[in-house]
Amino acid sequence: MKVVITGGIGFLGRKLAERLLADGALNGQAIDRLVLFDRLAGDVAPGDDRVLTVVGDLTDPDQVTGVLADADAVFHLGAIVSGQAEEDLDLGLRVNLDGTRNVLQACRGGGRRPLLVFTSSIAAYGGDLPQTIDDATPLTPATSYGAQKVACEMLVMDFTRRGLIDGRTVRLPTISVRPGKPNKAASGFASGIVREPLSGVDFACPVTPESSMVILSPRRAVDGFVWVAGLADETLGHDRSILLPGITATMAQMVEAVRRAGGDDAANRISFKHDPAIQSIVDGWPRAIAARRAAGLGFAGDRTIDEVIAAFVADELTAA
C-alpha cells in the first residue's frame, strides 16, 4: 500500500508518519511505501526503507501528479496557516485552494478512487456564532483561511459523490501544544503560552486573559486522522466532514495550568500584550464544540487542559 502525506515534514505530518510506520498498516493493509511531500526537506524515520521524502510545491500540478501516482491513500495536511492566508490572499488561494485542487485532480487522474483525508479547521465557522457549535452549525467563515478550507471541503464532497475519490474531512480545533518555533498561525499563541514558559522563555500573549480557545492535543489529532480514515463509506454517507471535539480554555486558565505543570517560575514568564488584529480574528472563532457526530461514531477527545500539557511535556520536553 502506498500512502502519501502532503505537509509530511511539518509537525503533524511527522507525527502521523511515525504513527503509520509504527502501526505498519492502514485499514488492514500493510504500508510498503510512505511518501512525505513537503516544500521543506527533512528526515523522518531515517533508515526505514518504506519512507520516501519528496521536496516540492503543491502549486505545481505536474509535480503533485507525479507524487500521487498510484497512491492508495492520501492525507492532505499541506497548507499555509491562518495568519499568513489572511495577510496574503493570493498566496492562500494558490496554496490552500489551488494546491488542494491539484491534489484532487491527481487523485482523480489515477482512476483508483484513493482514500483522501483532508484537514480542515473550525475557522470554517465565524461571525455571529452560538456559544457552542455543533455538526449542524452553518459554515460562515470570517477569514480567508476559513473560506479556503470550506471551499476545499465542498470539493472533497463533490469528488467523492462522483466516485473519483473516497474522501473524508477532519475539521480541527486549534492544535496545542505545538513544539518548535512560532509560526504565523493566528492561533499560535495557544501553543506559545505553554511551550515558551515551560521551556524557560518569556511569552507575551497577544489576546486578553478572558479570551478563550478550543484546543485539541497533537496526540488526539493524529488519532483522529487514522480514525476517520477507517470509517466505512456507508457510515459517513453524503456529508464527508466530521468536526472533532476540543477543550475550551481561557488564557487565564492556561496560565494556571502552566503554573500547575511548571510552578510559579513558569507562570510568571507569561505576560499580556494586546494585538488588535489577532484579537479580531480570534473573537470570530467558536467558543466551544459539541462534536456529537464524532462521539456517536466512537471518537473521544482530550479530557483536561492538564492532560494536554502533560502530553506535551512527555512527548516534546522530556523526549528532548
193 and 146 fall within a common domain: no
Judgement on whether residues 278 and 312 belong to the same structural domain of the protein: yes
Q: Is residue 157 part of a domain?
A: yes
Nearest to 173 by CA among 125, 138, 139: 125
- Quick check: 33 and 45 in contact, CB under 8 A? no
Interval 40-53 mean pLDDT: 93
Residue 18's pLDDT is 96
Nearest alpha-carbon partner for 7 in 47, 58, 49: 58
Q: Is the pLDDT of residue 320 over 70?
A: no
Q: How confident is the model at residue 204 (pLDDT cuts 50, 70, 90)?
A: very high
Q: What is the mean pLDDT of the chain?
A: 95
C-alpha cell at 268: 510568571
φ, ψ of residue 228 in degrees (nearest 5): -70, -30
Q: Do residues 254 and 308 share a domain? A: yes
pLDDT on residue 111? 83
145: domain CATH number is 3.40.50.720
Q: Looking at the predicted structure, is the pLDDT value of residue 284 above 90?
A: no
Q: What is the pLDDT of residues 61-118, one digit of tens each?
A: 999 999 999 999 999 999 999 889 999 999 999 999 999 999 999 999 878 899 999 9
For residue 283, pLDDT over 90 is answered with no
3 state DSSP class of 63: helix
Does 225 share its domain with 289? no
The DSSP letter of residue 237 is -
Claim to verify: residue 131 and residue 151 sit in the same structural domain: yes
Omega prior to 177 cis, within 30 of 0: yes
Residue 177 domain-assigned (yes or no): no
Give the pLDDT of residue 187.
87
Average confidence (pLDDT) over 294-308 = 96
Is position 136 within any domain? yes
CA dist 82 and 213 (Å) reads 15
Does residue 14 lie in a domain region? yes
Whether 264 and 168 map to the same domain: the answer is no
Check whether residue 100 and residue 233 sit in a common domain.
yes
Is the separation of the CB atoms in 242 and 296 below 8 Å? no
Q: Decide if 13 is inside a domain.
A: yes
**Alpha helices, DSSP H, located in the chain:** 11-23, 61-68, 82-87, 89-92, 99-109, 144-161, 189-198, 218-229, 233-236, 251-267, 276-283, 292-296, 305-312
Q: Residue 11, exposed/middle/buried by CB under 10 A (0-12, 13-18, 19+)?
A: middle
| 205-258 pLDDT tens trace | 999 999 999 999 999 999 999 999 999 999 999 999 999 999 999 999 999 999
| CA separation for the pair 191, 189 (Å, rounded) | 5
CATH (domain of 305)? 3.90.25.10
- Would the pLDDT of 281 be above 80? yes
Amino acid at 106: A
The answer on 54 and 6 residing in a single domain is yes
Q: For position 318, what pLDDT does the model report? A: 87
Residue 15 CA to residue 31 CA, distance in Å, equals: 16
Location of C-alpha cell 462521539: 295
User: pLDDT per residue over 169-193, tens digit each?
Assistant: 999 999 999 998 877 777 899 999 9
Domain interval for residue 197: 189-214+247-318
**Strand partners for 4:** 35, 74
Q: Does residue 90 share a domain with residue 229?
A: yes
Give yes or no for a contact between 188 and 145, defined as CB atoms under 8 angstroms apart: no
Query: For the whole model, what pTM was predicted?
Result: 0.94
| Alpha-carbon gap, residue 100 to 157, rounded angstroms | 13
Calpha distance 217→231 (Å, rounded): 21
Beta-bridged to residue 166, according to DSSP, are 115
Our answer to whether residue 125 is catalytic in this structure is no
The string of pLDDT tens digits covering residues 120-137 is: 999 999 988 998 999 999
- Spatial distance between the Cα atoms of 256 and 251, rounded to a whole number of angstroms: 9
DSSP state of 248: E
The answer to whether residue 183 is domain-embedded is no
Q: How many domains does the chain have?
A: 2
**Interatomic CA distance for residues 267 and 256, integer angstroms:** 7
Q: State the cell numbers at 279.
A: 484579537
Find the mean pLDDT for residues 7-13: 96
Q: Are residues 142 and 208 in the same domain?
A: no
Distances (CA, A) of 34 to 17, 19, 68, 171, 263: 8, 11, 11, 24, 41
Please tell me whether residues 96 and 225 are part of one structural domain.
yes
Evaluate whether residue 184 is within a structural domain. Answer: no
Check whether residue 12 and residue 131 sit in a common domain: yes
Choice among 75, 145, 285, 312 that is catalytic: 145
Query: Is 180 within a domain?
Result: no
Q: Which long-range contacts (CB under 8 A, 24 or more apart) does 43-46 make?
A: 44/8, 44/9, 44/14, 44/17, 44/18, 45/17, 45/18, 45/21
